[in-house]
């Protein structure tokens, strides 16, 4: 009859990789049917129970629990007797050199290390990462289950010191040609990446490599960085690093669905990098194409292909958009076509902020007073608010001409966009009325008028003649909305991004690193030729929550007493 036996080792800590290898070693022993080796957290105990391996004993969360089910009680006992030998075999393969017992000791032993990799259990991770920041180190924080308030505090503490915290729950990065965590080995090159998506970062860097390109830096942010609570601080720092990095010619930004306000902040900063930026905001609808220095991708493969095309064609980085004259900074679109208005909102919702419209995609975009523009404004003048008791603007230009004069008189208006739609049933000669109003508006310095002209040479209005009249008025005339919107963005100032304290580029040159947590990350660093140390970390106070709190208060009190 199968027998189940267990052993509890109080306060004995091993990382998950060591425990996985111990479990596999136990399974190879004679008569063993199943085995488990875990730190006895509630979640791990539930997993053991689901496998029928949970013992009757009630260990503490900080205890090592080893369970064996074997064909006989004797076989189970003999298997447990082999645990020390199995653990010793692991230690013999990894203890070839002295391992510091603390992060502080490791920094003294490897002072050139600019990075600390942290992969300890989540409830300890913020403390270890905080120690690294206080020691002046950048952090790659792989650990998950870190409270968001701890993430926010860590990132602000680091940014104030000119340091970077990638994570928590950051699985991938490539710094100075060295992969952190689950990174792929790719050649060096001119494409730098920022990613709030670990596997997305791996997919794009691997695709760039397969296409013959290379990576300068690949900076992970952690999956929550673009959430509203965190505000995209690491992503903004990473953009700043890549815009200053002379080896980076093209920037790629990959993200799971971001908070709208954070996406707007990030895209606004991307416009100011002075370099082409490829954006793949996964899960967000995208108009696609190019808007100024921004290139919107439709998926991960498309992201890699666009970045490769840009890196092959760019000999020098483009300059950021020049600011408009005076106070002119906003864009006003006056559409007769509702779909064109909707498409414009889709294209510009993260590029131009704040954006208001009477065809909103989100509640925060709604223009509550359609008679008065607010910030960047996109109007569908064919909507019900404007057509009650009057003809549609494709037939009657009166309302649009009034609004054109109103927007031109606003000193904050930098660009006005109009559509002129030809065809059966439309105004017989719209340019004859619209062009004089455009010419009048352009008498104000600092204003640009862009027209998207929709029609064919067969239309009764005459496509070519309409274009000639509109061009003569001084307007920029395009046959497609995408080209018109690109012209709009190029005419607008990029706004002002307050960049955080710069992270020194020297930290990204030839990284040396200290590893706290999973030994496989240390092994990977060494295999890539990086200078590295592994800390023989154990939970403070044996993981006892009460004692940990006392130690934290003593540490805080000690710092306060040393303050000037």
Mean per-residue pLDDT, 90-98: 54
Q: What is the pLDDT of residue 361?
A: 92
**Is residue 482 domain-shared with residue 523, that is, in the same domain?**
no
- For residues 514 and 282, the model is more confident at 514
Asked if pLDDT for residue 268 goes beyond 80, the answer is yes
Asked if pLDDT for residue 250 goes beyond 90, the answer is yes
**Is residue 258 domain-shared with residue 337, that is, in the same domain?**
no
Mean pLDDT score across all residues of the chain: 89
Mean per-residue pLDDT, 184-196: 97
Lowest pLDDT segment from 192-201, 313-322, 381-390: 313-322
Q: Which domain holds residue 349?
A: 330-491
- For residues 318 and 547, the model is more confident at 547
Query: Quick one: pLDDT band at residue 495, thresholds 50, 70, 90?
Result: confident
Handedness of CA 280, 283, 284, 290 (dihedral sign): positive
Asked if pLDDT for residue 184 goes beyond 60, the answer is yes
Got the DSSP string for 381-436? TTSHHHHTTS--TTT--HHHHHHHHHHHH-TTEEEEEEEEE-STTS-S-HHHHHHH
**Among candidate residues 117, 123, 161, 113, the one with its CA nearest the CA of residue 141:** 117
Query: Quick one: pLDDT band at residue 560, thresholds 50, 70, 90?
Result: very low
**Is residue 68 domain-shared with residue 106, that is, in the same domain?**
no
SS3 343: helix
- For residues 385 and 164, the model is more confident at 164
Residue 426 lies in a domain: yes
Domain-terminating residue out of 285, 320, 355: 320
Q: What is the pLDDT of residue 110?
A: 93
Q: What is the pLDDT of residue 550?
A: 58
Characterize the bridge pairing of strands 115-118 and 138-141. Answer: parallel
| Cα 105 from Cα 100, distance rounded (Å) | 6
Share of the chain above pLDDT 70, in %: 91
**Is residue 266 domain-shared with residue 162, that is, in the same domain?**
no
Mean per-residue pLDDT, 282-301: 86
**Among candidate residues 188, 32, 100, 114, the one with its CA nearest the CA of residue 507:** 114
| Cα 43 from Cα 281, distance rounded (Å) | 33
Q: Is the peptide bond before 234 cis (omega within 30 degrees of 0)?
A: no
Query: At what angle are helices 16-27 and 83-94 packed, to 10 degrees?
Result: 130
Q: Which residues contact 142 (CB under 8 A, 6 or more apart)?
A: 117, 118, 119, 167, 168, 169, 170, 171, 181, 517, 518, 521
Mean per-residue pLDDT, 58-82: 86
**Is residue 275 domain-shared with residue 196, that is, in the same domain?**
yes
Asked if pLDDT for residue 97 goes beyond 80, the answer is no
Query: At what angle are helices 16-27 and 519-527 packed, to 10 degrees?
Result: 100
Q: Which residues contact 520 (CB under 8 A, 6 or more apart)?
A: 17
| Cα 128 from Cα 167, distance rounded (Å) | 13
**Is residue 185 domain-shared with residue 112, that is, in the same domain?**
no
Asked if pLDDT for residue 44 goes beyond 90, the answer is no
**Among candidate residues 284, 140, 159, the one with its CA nearest the CA of residue 230:** 159
Q: For 328-338, what is each residue's pLDDT tens digit?
A: 899 999 999 88
**Are 187 and 212 a contacting pair, CB within 8 Å?**
no
Query: Quick one: pLDDT band at residue 18, thresholds 50, 70, 90?
Result: confident
**Is residue 162 domain-shared with residue 176, that is, in the same domain?**
no
**Are 7 and 82 a contacting pair, CB within 8 Å?**
no
Asked if pLDDT for residue 544 goes beyond 70, the answer is no
* CATH code: domain of residue 82: 3.30.1360
Domain-terminating residue out of 38, 61, 94: 94
Sole residue written with tokens 């680091």:
158
* CATH code: domain of residue 278: 3.40.50.261
Q: What is the pLDDT of residue 324?
A: 45
**Is residue 341 domain-shared with residue 483, that is, in the same domain?**
yes
Got the DSSP string for 285-325? ----EEETTEEE-SSHHHHHHHHHHHHHH-SSPPPPPPPPS
Q: What is the pLDDT of residue 548?
A: 56
Most distant CA pair in the chain, distance: 100
Lowest pLDDT segment from 145-154, 469-478, 488-497: 488-497
| Cα 177 from Cα 215, distance rounded (Å) | 8
| Cα 30 from Cα 68, distance rounded (Å) | 12
* CATH code: domain of residue 146: 3.40.50.720
| Cα 515 from Cα 525, distance rounded (Å) | 9
Residue 556 lies in a domain: no
**Is residue 50 domain-shared with residue 149, that is, in the same domain?**
no
Residue 437 lies in a domain: yes
Mean per-residue pLDDT, 201-230: 96
Query: Quick one: pLDDT band at residue 297, thresholds 50, 70, 90?
Result: very high
Asked if pLDDT for residue 75 goes beyond 50, the answer is yes
Query: Quick one: pLDDT band at residue 555, thresholds 50, 70, 90?
Result: low
Q: For 322-374, what is each residue's pLDDT tens digit?
A: 454 457 899 999 999 889 999 999 999 999 989 999 999 999 999 999 999 99
Residue 561 lies in a domain: no
**Is residue 189 domain-shared with residue 314, that is, in the same domain?**
yes
Q: How far is CA 19 from its chain centroid?
A: 32
**Is residue 455 domain-shared with residue 380, that is, in the same domain?**
yes
Phi, psi (degrees; rounded to nearest 5) at 293: -90, 5
**Is residue 267 domain-shared with residue 344, that is, in the same domain?**
no
Query: Quick one: pLDDT band at residue 90, thresholds 50, 70, 90?
Result: low
Number of domains composing the chain:
4
Q: Is the peptide bond before 354 cis (omega within 30 degrees of 0)?
A: yes
Domain-terminating residue out of 320, 349, 370: 320
For 542, what's the count of Cα atoms within 13 Å in the CB-facing half-sphere?
10
Q: What is the pLDDT of residue 341?
A: 95
Asked if pLDDT for residue 540 goes beyond 80, the answer is no
């Amino acid at each position: 009859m199968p027998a189940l036996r267990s052993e509890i080792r109080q306060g004995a800590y091993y990382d998950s990789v060591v425990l996985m290898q111990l479990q596999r070693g136990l399974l190879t022993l004679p008569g063993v049917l199943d085995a488990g080796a875990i730190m006895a957290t509630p979640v791990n105990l539930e997993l053991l129970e689901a496998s029928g391996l949970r013992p009757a004993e009630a260990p503490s969360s900080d205890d090592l629990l080893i369970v064996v089910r074997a064909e006989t009680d004797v076989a189970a006992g003999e298997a447990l007797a082999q645990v020390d030998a199995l653990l010793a075999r692991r230690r013999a393969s990894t203890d070839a050199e002295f391992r510091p017992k603390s992060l502080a000791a490791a920094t003294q032993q490897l002072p050139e290390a600019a990075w600390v990799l942290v992969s300890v259990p989540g409830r300890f991770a913020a403390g270890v990462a905080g120690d690294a920041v206080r020691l002046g180190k950048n952090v790659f924080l792989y650990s998950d289950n870190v409270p968001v308030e701890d993430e926010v505090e860590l990132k602000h503490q680091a940014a104030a010191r000119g340091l970077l915290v990638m994570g928590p729950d950051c699985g991938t990065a490539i710094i100075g040609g060295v992969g952190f965590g689950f990174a792929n080995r790719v050649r060096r090159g001119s494409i730098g990446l920022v990613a709030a998506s670990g596997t997305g970062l791996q997919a794009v860097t691997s695709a760039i490599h397969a296409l013959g390109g290379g990576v300068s830096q690949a900076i992970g942010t952690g999956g929550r960085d673009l959430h509203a609570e965190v505000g995209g601080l690491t992503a903004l720092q990473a953009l700043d690093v890549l815009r200053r990095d002379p080896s980076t010619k093209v920037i790629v930004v990959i993200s799971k669905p971001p908070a709208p306000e954070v996406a707007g902040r990030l895209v606004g900063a991307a416009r100011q990098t002075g370099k082409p930026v490829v954006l793949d905001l996964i899960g967000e609808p995208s108009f696609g194409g190019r808007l100024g220095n921004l290139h919107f991708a439709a998926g991960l493969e498309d992201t890699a292909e666009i970045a490769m095309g840009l890196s092959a064609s760019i000999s020098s980085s483009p300059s950021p958009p020049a600011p408009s004259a005076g106070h002119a900074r906003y864009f006003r679109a006056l559409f007769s076509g509702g779909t064109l208005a909707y498409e414009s909102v889709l294209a510009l919702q993260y590029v131009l902020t704040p954006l208001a419209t009477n065809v909103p995609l989100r509640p925060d975009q709604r223009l509550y007073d359609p008679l008065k523009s607010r910030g960047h404004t996109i109007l569908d003048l064919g909507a019900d608010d404007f057509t009650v008791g009057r003809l549609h603007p494709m037939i009657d230009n009166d309302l649009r001409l009034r609004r054109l004069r109103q927007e031109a008189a606003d000193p904050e208006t930098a660009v006005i966009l109009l559509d002129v739609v030809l065809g059966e049933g439309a105004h017989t000669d719209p340019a004859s009325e619209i062009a004089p109003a455009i010419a009048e508006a352009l008498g104000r310095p600092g204003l640009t008028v862009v027209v998207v002209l929709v029609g064919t040479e067969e239309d009764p209005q005459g496509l070519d003649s309409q274009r000639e009249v509109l061009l003569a008025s001084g307007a920029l005339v395009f046959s497609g909305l995408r080209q018109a919107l690109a012209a709009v963005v190029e005419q607008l100032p990029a706004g002002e991004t307050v960049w955080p304290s710069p992270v020194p580029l020297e930290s990204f040159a030839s990284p040396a690193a200290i590893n706290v947590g999973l030994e496989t990350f240390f092994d990977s660093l060494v295999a890539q030729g990086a200078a590295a140390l592994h800390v023989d970390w154990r939970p403070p106070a044996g993981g006892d929550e009460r004692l940990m709190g006392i130690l934290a208060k003593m540490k805080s009190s000690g710092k306060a007493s040393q303050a000037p």
